[in-house]
Amino acid sequence: EVQLVESGGGLVQPGGSLRLSCAASGFTFSSYSMNWVRQAPGKGLEWVSYISSSSSTIYYADSVKGRFTISRDNAKNSLYLQMNSLRDEDTAVYYCARGSLAYCGGDCYPFDYWGQGTLVTVSS
């Protein structure tokens, strides 16, 4: 059974930092790209960041570029999001979501499994 479990959320002051983790199990983690998606209170879903299976390709939403850093440790089946210079508008539930299988060709169906989310609150 595929499982994604996020951790690391909490209350942080504006300008502060936080590191989120996502522990993966039930599939070959090193063969899949991964993503972070967030949802501000009462709002819709917003894609945040992508990392390829080998970490060779990384993308960020414009709203977090230069402040957030995505990374992964395939030996530990773990995904991370380092969040620096946090702002009030970064307050959200952060989800990790599985991407596509590497070399999926024309049959790529990412965002099939999601974790339960971890809440990040940026407030003074």
Partner 1 sequence: DIQMTQSPSSLSASVGDRVTITCRASQGIRNDLGWYQQKPGKAPKRLIYAASSLQSGVPSRFSGSGSGTEFTLTISSLQPEDFATYYCLQHNSYPPYTFGQGTKLEIK
CB of 71 to partner 1, least distance (A): 17
φ, ψ dihedrals at 30, nearest 5°: -70, -10
Binding mask 45-84 for partner 1 (x = CB under 8 A): xxx--x--------xxxx----------------------
Q: Is the CB of residue 17 less than 8 Å from the CB of residue 90?
A: no
Distance CA 93, CA 45 (A): 10
SS3 71: strand
**Does 44 engage in binding with partner 1 (CB under 8 A)?**
yes
- For the bound state, the minimum distance from the C-beta of residue 6 to partner 1, rounded and expressed in Å, comes to 10
Is position 117 an interface residue for partner 1 (rule: CB under 8 A)?
yes
69 three-state secondary structure: strand
Distance CA 108, CA 96 (A): 18
Is 8 a binder of partner 1 (CB under 8 A)? no
Which residues of the chain form contacts with partner 1 (CB under 8 A)? 35, 44-47, 50, 59-62, 95, 108-112, 114-117
